[in-house]
Structure formats: structure tokens, C-alpha cells
Structure 1
Amino acid sequence: MKVASFNVQRFGENKVSDKNVLSSLIKIISRYDIIVILEVVDVKGKAMKKFLEELNKVNKSSPYVMKMSCRLGRTSYKEQYMFLYREDVVKLIDTYQYEDNQEGDEDAFAREPYILRFTCDNIALDDLVIIPVHTKPEDSFKEVDELYDVTMKVRDKWNTDNIMILGDFNADGAYVSKSKMKKIRIRTDTNFHWLIEDDVDTTASTGNDNTYDRIVVYSDKMVEAIVPNSAKPFNFQEEFGLTEEMALEVSDHYPVEVELTKASKKKRGPEEPPSKPVKTKRKPRS
């Protein structure tokens, strides 16, 4: 089962009405059983309904269901998280809009995570909780650190350690230094495992090689449920033979994806260390 996150830059009416962009988005999203789309700016709500209709025209045998957050943001500019999942593969059992009201630390997130909990008979987990995030770049250090509190809240709420955090962390380049990364709790706590390594480019622009998009899982059990080397960005520009200009019309980010093992797959023994994800499209480091 494949899971992904994709920041589809300002995803709204304009992109759905562009036939070439629409075609590329449908091909990308059809790769996954669960995907969370970031930066949805469909104020009227009509464009995403239209997109779902077009997506399911080419996925008739395994159609998608859409689940969206409310519009989130501190200013007049707001975004939504949009989950698309195949209803014959997974079952949605609960949702939780993070309240972001910790005493003394209220409103830590510009766009509070909208969290979904699934079950699936075909994977080696009893359930799967997905926490999406799209940080405000200037506040990314604080927001990524606060994901620790979100995770602990979800663990207590649903009594599960099968948790995946994914999305656009904006935790690289000018926004978060290497020294600051070492102070982030989900980075220092060894229960959290970062599946996309620090020198992997997740951006579609040649002018930017930052690792903005991430997948982080909680607990060794989650690591054991990951297909080795499956966590990586999907370079749709290269895969579809697009020019950089054409790719950027789709988005300035690549999706990041990961695959979960099937339920029948033999579990790794305790003496066998988990495999690290494949290193893809490395960027130079000084």
C-alpha cells in the first residue's frame, strides 16, 4: 500500500481547469492508495469536487474518497488539507482536527494538522494514523518541534503508536539550520524515524535543492512495516518527460511517498536492523 504527501502549489480552480496540469495530477495521484494534498485553496469547494470526478473516471475499479479539513490559517489567506484514499483498500475510522490550544503555547501552528486514522486488512499494522503538516516557513522550527506534542496527543487519544507524519516541513535552507535541527524534539527522540534523508531534493525547481518535504514515522513497529528503500520523492518531471516550466505549472514540489508491507509478509526479526531508505537525487553539502 502506497502513501504520499504532495504540496500542489496553490491547488484550486486554475489547475483543475488546465487540461495538461489536470492530466499530470491525475497520473501522479493515481499511484497512491492514500495521499494528502497540501495547499488547497479552493474557496468555493467546486474545483476539488470536479477534480475528484475526473480522478475517479480513470480509477473506476478502485475509486477514491475525498476528506477535507476546514479552511485553516491566521489571515484571510487560508488553505485546506485534502485526503484522497481508495475506499476498497482502506477504511477511515476516525478524524481529529488538532485544537492547538496547549496552555501557554496556543496557536503554535499556522495550519493545524487535520489527522485521520485508517484501518486496512492488507498491511502489517492494526491501524494507521496520518498527521499532515504544512508549516509557515518563518515558523517552521517551532511548528516541526510542536509535532512532538501532536504525536503524544494522538497516542493518548487513540492508544496507538502506528503514526506517520508527512508533508511540507519547510525545515531546510534559510528556514532551519543544521544546529536548530538538532534541537527539534521529533528529531532527537529516537522513537521518531525520518525516512527522507537530509540531502534529498524534494523540489521541482532547479533553483532550489532543499529537503522541504518529509515522512517521519513513530515507533520501531512502524519502521518494520515500511518496505525497505521505498521512501523517496517522486520526480514526475523526469517520469513524464516534462520541461521544468511544465513541471512547475503542476507544482514546485515533488510528492514524497512510502510503501507499507503486506500483512502476509514475514516480519523482520528483532536481531535484524531496519533498512534505511534509498538515497535519491542527492544534493551537494558543504
Structure 2
Amino acid sequence: MPTLPPEGARPPEREPHRHRDIAESFGTDAERYDRARPRYPDALVRRIVAGIPGPDVLDVGCGTGIAARQFQMAGCRVLGVEPDARMAELARQTGVEAEIATFEAWDPAGREFDAVVAGTAWHWVDPVAGATKAGQVLRPGGLLAPFWHVAQPPPDLAKAVAAVCERVMPDALFNFRAAMTRPAVDIYQTQFTRIADGMRQVGGFSDPEHWRVDWECSYTRDAWLEQIPTQGAFTRLPPDKLAEVLDGVGAAIDGMGGNFTMPYATVAVTATRTGTS
């Protein structure tokens, strides 16, 4: 059974899970989030379901239930854990059972699962505490499988967006220039490595694997502007600043003919719970 290492064993670096103000800001407009955020590739959902010993799935940071509903459609019984009550309430309205808590503080009350998944949410979880809790609630042979969308905007759009954001948000936590102009998977690689290291550190898991599904999505100007306010860099922006960002990005998309195709890679870091208890 995985156990939590002593506090001093964990690095004191700044990590996404320490920024609770961002992590719990997505419910500002939960309906828009559910409407605008992309779904996950069916191929990834099928691969996860095919690799687990039973139908019970725990969805960490379930948000409005986007991934949870996909696993339900694949035949799974899903319980969501979500720290933002606004997001959890919408998940419930869409047929997903959701409990309100951070994963680290959540009480499983003796329940066990065949998979612990997290769609674009595990970076808000302490990678060691999260892997520890996952190991404690997974049945032997169960799968820990957090996954993320990694988008690579067209170069001209990326440069334009970076310029707009740097002008409107000069003091932002995010490095827009690096995020928009470097290969997206390279930027996320540090995060993936940290999460895999968390799994290794607690023990009780197989060696982590990286799974990847590549796909594309076509966006109109309006469809992409609908999604921007749901992203962590913008959820806390004052309305006037957000309007500036949307105007600038909209102008850039207009300059591309009003639409564009976004290449995505949906990447998972997976490990199987070992042992017999």
C-alpha cells in the first residue's frame, strides 16, 4: 500500500497545485466551461477502459463532468471529486455523481475503484499526495491515468495571441511567449515527468507509461473566443481586460480568414496498482 513520504522529502518548488486561487476559479462560468471545452479522444477512453479490472472509475477534478460522461458512455460507473461547488453542481445536473473536496482532503470512506482518472486536472493535485491517495483507493490491477490536452496553435495565431496577452497582462504568472511559440508537448514534458516521479516515489505502482493520441479540431472565431475565458490564464481577469484579450485574439483569427485548425495531442501518464492489498 503506497504511503506518503515525510514532508521534507518533497521539493519546495512552486508547482501548479499550490495555486488554489487558479485551480478553483473555473466555476466562474461553469456552463461556458462545459459548452466550450473539448472532449477527450474516444481512443484514449477505450484504451483506459480496456486496461482496468472492473467498471468503477474515480474522476479527480471532474469539473462539469466532461470526461466522466465519456466514461459513463463507455460502460463505467463514475464518481467525481471536484473542489469547486459550482462545477460539481453542473456535473450533478448532467448525471454525474460528484463530491466536493480537493482530492488530497477527500474521504473515500472505504470505497475502492478500478481506475483513477483526471482530465486536464491532475496538475492541480500534489503529485506525491495524489499518487498516495490513488494507490490507497485503487484495487490491485487498477489504473492511475491522468491525462491532458496539449494544443499547438498555428504559428501566426500563437505569436499574435502572445503579443496580445503580454500587452494586456504584463504581470501574469504565465509565460505566454514560451507557451505559444515553443512546441507544446515540450513545455508539458516537465509536468509529465514530475507526475511520473510522484508515482514512482510513493511505490506500489508499475513503472509509469506515456500514452498519446493525436487529433485535430477546427474552430471558428466565435468558437475559440468562447473557450478562452475557461482557461486558467484568463478565469480571474477583470471584464475589461478579458474584453481586450478577446478583441485582440478575434482580430488575429479574422486575419486568418475567420477560422483555423488546432492540432492536439491528448497525453496520459499511466501506472498500474501492484500488490494484492
TM-score bracket for this pair, using the shorter chain length: 0.3 to 0.5
Q: State the structure with more CA Rg.
A: 2
More helix by share: 2
